[in-house]
């Protein structure tokens, strides 16, 4: 199950059984056999998804719907709260989560079907709520870009969360959406230390690349905020003010942060990571996490799960409040997205699709049909 050897370019070398597995096996280290190779390739499986918009009613999340173009994430962030979701597909939340990915190749088509339904009610969709929409495999699969093209065509607002610099590839779409008040972006910035980034988020963009993404997006008129998440005691929490300051200098308008969350299988994976890279402070770090979570490693209560509780969490909250006030990182005006344009855009697109379908009737009936791809009624 576990390997003491780090896998280059991966967040973990362990592949613990998922919690739904009917049976488990344990590999014993006899000093001869290395269970996990020093390198591990990425396998991508294409999926024909049955639905694409995920709904939630969580009171501490500022959106009620999201789209995740991929299952699993090649960035390999050891702390990722989404790791346990891989268990639903009979895969491990460990190395499998980073190396055995699923691409929802019909995402854009499904989205268009959903937006075309008469009963659909428009509200901003979040891209990247669970796994990163701009992880490395997006360069080839382009599912996120296709999704944005549909959203732009339907004038549907979207908010994007990413730590991938690949977002700049889609600057043409994002600039146009920003002009129409249809997009906002939050760049996740966890550390300014390249060495820490490489073991904490091995395949995510470098800190300088993320700051550049903020700068370029802002120059294109896209409203951008910074998300300092997660804050980990004794690992990166001392960087909070520096992260906010650098993001502000790059052009960020707003900021937020989240305390480290360790649900289900993430807790033992993170503990193993600490013992591998920070053996002398591992026990202390885990103790501080418990102090911020009511004695446990994870608190699922709405509200407190994001910020924690206790003296350490309170101090972090105070530091954050002082920093954003000093830097002026509390602007919200640019993040108000327009939902009013959606209905007319939907009517335009449905008209175009309907006319195209009608024009394909047999030739004997074609005299009854006026072929036109209208831009409106």
| pLDDT level of residue 333 (50, 70, 90 thresholds) | low
Distances in Å between the Cα of 89 and the Cα atoms of 15, 84, 86, 102, 206 are: 14, 10, 6, 10, 30
Full-model pTM: 0.87
* Overall fold of domain 43-339: pyruvate-formate lyase- activating enzyme (3.80.30)
Residue of 88 and 192 predicted with greater confidence: 192
Question: Which residues have C-beta within 8 Å of that of residue 372, sequence separation ≥ 6?
Answer: 355
The whole-number pLDDT of residue 112 equals: 96
Cα 123 to Cα 126: distance, rounded to the nearest angstrom = 10
**Of all helices (H) and strands (E), which one includes residue 267?**
helix 266-277
1-5, 180-184, 275-279, 343-347: which range is least confident on average?
1-5
- Average of pLDDT values for 102-128? 96
- Average of pLDDT values for 61-87? 95
| pLDDT level of residue 81 (50, 70, 90 thresholds) | very high
Cα 80 to Cα 265: distance, rounded to the nearest angstrom = 10
100-109, 162-171, 211-220, 295-304: which range is least confident on average?
295-304
Q: In what order do the strands lie in the sheet with 224-231?
A: 54-55, 65-67, 125-127, 158-162, 183-188, 224-231, 254-259
The whole-number pLDDT of residue 374 equals: 30
The angle, 0 to 180 degrees and rounded to 10, between the axes of the packed helices 171-179 and 207-219 is 40
Cα 258 to Cα 171: distance, rounded to the nearest angstrom = 27
- Domains of the chain by residue range: 43-339, 341-377
The whole-number pLDDT of residue 343 equals: 74
Predicted confidence (pLDDT) at residue 158 exceeds the cutoff of 50? yes
């Amino acid at each position: 199950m576990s390997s003491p050897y780090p896998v280059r370019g991966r967040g973990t070398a362990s592949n613990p059984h998922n919690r739904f597995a009917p049976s488990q096996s344990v590999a014993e280290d006899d000093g001869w056999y290395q269970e996990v190779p020093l390198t591990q390739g990425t396998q991508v499986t294409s999926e024909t998804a049955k639905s694409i918009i995920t709904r939630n009613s969580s009171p501490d999340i500022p959106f009620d719907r999201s789209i995740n173009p991929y299952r699993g994430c090649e960035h390999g962030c050891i702390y990722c709260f989404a790791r346990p979701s891989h268990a639903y597909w009979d895969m491990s939340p460990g190395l499998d989560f980073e190396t055995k990915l699923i691409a929802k190749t019909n995402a854009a088509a499904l989205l268009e079907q959903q937006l075309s339904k008469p009963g659909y009610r428009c509200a901003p969709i979040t891209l990247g709520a669970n796994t990163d929409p701009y992880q490395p495999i997006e360069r080839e699969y382009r599912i996120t870009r296709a999704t944005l093209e549909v959203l732009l065509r339907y004038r549907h607002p979207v908010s994007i969360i990413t730590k991938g610099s690949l977002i700049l590839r889609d600057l043409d779409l994002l600039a146009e959406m920003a002009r129409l008040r249809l997009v906002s972006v939050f760049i996740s910035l966890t550390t300014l230390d390249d060495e820490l980034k490489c073991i904490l988020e091995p395949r995510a963009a470098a800190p300088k690349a993320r700051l550049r993404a903020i700068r370029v997006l802002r120059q294109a008129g896209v409203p951008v905020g910074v998300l300092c998440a997660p804050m980990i005691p004794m690992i990166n929490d001392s960087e909070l003010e520096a992260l906010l300051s650098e993001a502000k200098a790059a052009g960020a308008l707003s900021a937020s942060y989240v305390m480290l969350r360790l649900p289900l299988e993430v807790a033992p994976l993170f503990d193993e990571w600490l013992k591998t890279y920070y053996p002398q402070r591992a026990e202390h770090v885990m103790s501080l996490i418990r102090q911020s979570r009511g004695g446990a490693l994870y608190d699922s209560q709405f509200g407190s799960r994001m910020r924690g509780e206790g003296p350490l969490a309170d101090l972090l909250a105070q530091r954050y409040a002082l920093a954003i006030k000093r830097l002026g990182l509390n602007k919200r005006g640019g993040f108000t997205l327009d939902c009013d344009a959606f209905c007319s855009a939907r009517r335009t697109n449905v008209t175009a699709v309907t006319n195209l379908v009608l024009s394909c009737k047999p030739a004997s009936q074609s005299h009854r049909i006026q072929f036109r791809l209208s831009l409106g009624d």
